[in-house]
Structure 1
Amino acid sequence: MTITAAADGSALGNPGPAGWAWYVNDDCWRAGGWPHGTNNQGELMAVLDLFRATAHLAGEELHILCDSQYVINSVTKWMPGWKRKGWRKSDGKPVLNVELLKEIDQALAGRKYTFEWVRGHAGHDLNEAADDRARAAATAYQQGIAPRRGPGFVRAGDDAAQTAQQNPAAPGAGEPVPAGQAKAAAGTRPAPTAARGSAREFFGEPTLFGESGLFAEPDLFSELEAESRAAAASPEQAPEAIVEALERELLLPETRSDVGRTGVLLHPDFIEIGSSGRLWTRDEMMMALEDDPGVPAELELLSADRIGEGTVLLSYRSHTRTGTALRSSLWVLDGAQWRLRFHQGTPEA
């Protein structure tokens, strides 16, 4: 069976508030974005997320409708040469959007796929639907509200449990749930209302990584699938000790400013609930940290509890120059890598 989907990106200002989306039908689509990015980054992210969302159907061919010659040529023509040259172009300059391209390159392994160029804004039903959702996501970030994420990859006849595993953000009835929010520590929670306010309210609050004062526009990021430095630890080391070491590493500014490292340590469905009630996704957090890694923080461990075979809950007090906060982090074992799935922090009076 062939899965046919349109993928598109949008940027208001290019660069500016950016969105991406892929679309199969009204019951099977997904969208997202960032406060600042380019149209090409949105186009690439739409393709990457589509491959990830259909990873459990690797035996089926993926037919991608795309109005971006840049994306099609990057994936089907240029990437092999870029890889041979160490991800550099023929003139020796670094390839743009290299992290997204590396992720796509990894996602292509073992997949059957074809790309078809379609003219944008020409009335093609699937392309128009993807474009509408990508532009809506960009507009939501422009307005400082949560975008509609969509149900993810869902189709009639799919096993419900498998669908939920592949798309933990899939909502039930009612309003769409922001990506990664459906299951955090235990059970399903209602979606918190997105914070509506100034940039200071959005970015000035204490976060997982200490204090932050973000007022510049950060650039796009993407995760690097790299071997974790912690993976080299002794196999006899207890999961609680491994997780504590990784949490301490995340409190270092040099780690927070390294998108490759944070991409390894943060789970793809990572979310954080900030002190203002703002919901941070993994994309937003990594992008913010790249721009402003904050200041060093010390960790005073309160408890490290194994609550499942591959789950550790860490509770601690963080100390920075501006005060202390009580924090909880939920780490899960993703393959051989421990990754941070959920975090919440509350400043102490």
Structure 2
Amino acid sequence: MTIVAAADGSALGNPGPAGWAWYVDDSCWRAGGWPHGTNNMGELMAVLDLLNSTAHLSAEPLHILCDSQYVINCITKWMPGWKRKGWRKADGKPVLNIDLLKQIDAAIVGRNYTFEWVKGHAGHDLNEAADDRARDAATAFQAGRAPNEGPGFPGAGKSAPAPTPAPTPAPAADDDALQLDLFSELPDDELDPAYAPVADDSLAALVELERELMDPVVRTDSIRVGMLLHPDFEEIGASGRVWTRQDIMSAFSDEESAAATLDVLTLSRLDPATALLTYRTLEKRGSVLRSSLWRHDGGQWRLRFHQGTLETR
């Protein structure tokens, strides 16, 4: 019988008080966390503890629901290459969260497991239950109290190791922001086609990608935004400020964005790999004229430059 469980992580401040949880049903779940950690650490720890908690049923297939493409790709795609390189990325930099990844690498030996990506905060019952418990654990550590660890997995007893102490996050850096560099540095064959921007080189794809970048849900997904923005992305704001790729991604993570309309004005190809989209958005502050320059590299469109100006009447 296949074991189906959701695994999720949470961090208040990222890094900050962090929690993790896996959930099968109300009688079968576990949670924990640390006073200081990152969201990615929580996501990885949830998977690790789930593997450990079901080790006594290693012959049973394990199906893990996860809303983190980073975690899924780390475990199912990238770990073999990292191990061959001495746990280093394609650019030679050390892999983040190596302590947890090494433990997961050991825990999956001999296991029959599969992952399924589910969209976070989209009403998926198991994912929402795991997310609630991970956030509750992070909140408990923020308040200086012990979290509710849950009933655990039936039959696991003491065979499941105690929650692993939190690895030390990279100093003065956001784990998710650093991990975004991974995508621009990986070879094309290490990118997940299902998660990459649309590979279609037709101009029609650009309007949908532009709408995706305006989606409040997408803007909170730093990994997805990192895939849509070109490594050399720049934006000139209405004030004249030049925004870098990291500036924009940080702003997205902090803002409370609202959906806006998009009315296409022009869409044209400037050369075989470059296209210009101009459009109007209607927002709370008024009508805004926008232009986006998209580059088609490695089989995918990525936003290279953007500018927006309030429209005068």
**2:95 matched residue in structure 1:** 95
The Cα shift of 1:45 comes to 0.2
How is 1:210-229 mapped onto 2 (pairs within 5 angstroms)? 219=168
Matching residue's letter, 1:72:
I
> In 2 relative to 1, CA 145–2 (structure 1 residues): closer, same or farther, beyond 3 Å?
same
Percent identity, aligned pairs only, is: 76
The Cα shift of 1:20 comes to 0.1
- SS of equivalent to 1:30: strand
Q: In the aligned structure 2, how far is the partner of 1:108 from the partner of 1:140?
A: 30
Alignment match of 1:164 (pick from 144, 157, 174):
157
Contact preservation (8 Å) 2:8, 2:131 = yes
Structure 2: 5+ residue stretches without partners = 171-313
Q: In the aligned structure 2, how far is the partner of 1:75 from the partner of 1:120?
A: 19
How is 1:176-325 mapped onto 2 (pairs within 5 angstroms)? 219=168
Matching residue's letter, 2:130:
A
Contact preservation (8 Å) 1:53, 1:166 = yes
The Cα shift of 1:164 comes to 2.5
Q: In the aligned structure 2, how far is the partner of 1:220 from the partner of 1:141?
A: 16
The Cα shift of 1:219 comes to 2.4
Q: In the aligned structure 1, how far is the partner of 2:167 from the partner of 2:107?
A: 25
Contact preservation (8 Å) 2:52, 2:160 = no
> In 2 relative to 1, CA 168–10 (structure 1 residues): closer, same or farther, beyond 3 Å?
closer
Q: In the aligned structure 1, how far is the partner of 2:167 from the partner of 2:45?
A: 17
**1:344 matched residue in structure 2:** none
- SS of equivalent to 2:109: coil
**1:76 matched residue in structure 2:** 76
Q: In the aligned structure 1, how far is the partner of 2:144 from the partner of 2:153?
A: 26
Q: In the aligned structure 2, how far is the partner of 1:62 from the partner of 1:24?
A: 11
- Residue by residue over 1:293-333, the C-alpha shift from the partner in whole angstroms, topping out at 9 and shown as x without a partner, is xxxxxxxxxxxxxxxxxxxxxxxxxxxxxxxxxxxxxxxxx
- Residue by residue over 1:190-226, the C-alpha shift from the partner in whole angstroms, topping out at 9 and shown as x without a partner, is xxxxxxxxxxxxxxxxxxxxxxxxxxx98269xxxxx
The Cα shift of 1:107 comes to 0.2
> In 2 relative to 1, CA 163–50 (structure 1 residues): closer, same or farther, beyond 3 Å?
closer
Matching residue's letter, 2:159:
Q
Contact preservation (8 Å) 1:14, 1:39 = yes
The Cα shift of 1:35 comes to 0.3
- The alignment status of 1:117 with 2:117, answered yes or no, reads yes
- SS of equivalent to 2:14: coil
Q: In the aligned structure 1, how far is the partner of 2:107 from the partner of 2:139?
A: 28
- Residue by residue over 1:97-151, the C-alpha shift from the partner in whole angstroms, topping out at 9 and shown as x without a partner, is 0010000000000000000000000000000000000000000000000100001
How big is the alpha-carbon RMSD for the aligned residues of Structure 1 and Structure 2? 2.1
TM-score, with structure 1 as normaliser: 0.46
Structure 1: 5+ residue stretches without partners = 155-161, 170-178, 181-216, 222-349
Structure of greater relative contact order (alpha carbons < 8 Å, 6+ residues apart):
2
Contact preservation (8 Å) 2:99, 2:167 = no
> In 2 relative to 1, CA 83–12 (structure 1 residues): closer, same or farther, beyond 3 Å?
same
Q: In the aligned structure 1, how far is the partner of 2:114 from the partner of 2:156?
A: 24
The Cα shift of 1:168 comes to 8.6
**1:52 matched residue in structure 2:** 52
Matching residue's letter, 1:139:
T
The Cα shift of 1:166 comes to 2.8
Q: State the structure with more CA Rg.
A: 2
The Cα shift of 1:16 comes to 0.4
- The alignment status of 1:40 with 2:33, answered yes or no, reads no
- SS of equivalent to 2:152: coil
**2:4 matched residue in structure 1:** 4
Q: In the aligned structure 2, how far is the partner of 1:167 from the partner of 1:91?
A: 36
- SS of equivalent to 2:36: strand
Which aligned segments of 4 or more residues in structure 1 are displaced greater than 2 angstroms?
162-169, 217-221
TM-score, with structure 2 as normaliser: 0.52
Q: In the aligned structure 1, how far is the partner of 2:119 from the partner of 2:111?
A: 25
- Residue by residue over 1:225-254, the C-alpha shift from the partner in whole angstroms, topping out at 9 and shown as x without a partner, is xxxxxxxxxxxxxxxxxxxxxxxxxxxxxx
Q: In the aligned structure 2, how far is the partner of 1:220 from the partner of 1:165?
A: 29
**1:15 matched residue in structure 2:** 15
Q: In the aligned structure 2, how far is the partner of 1:10 from the partner of 1:168?
A: 21
Contact preservation (8 Å) 1:58, 1:111 = yes
Q: In the aligned structure 1, how far is the partner of 2:34 from the partner of 2:105?
A: 22
The Cα shift of 1:43 comes to 0.0
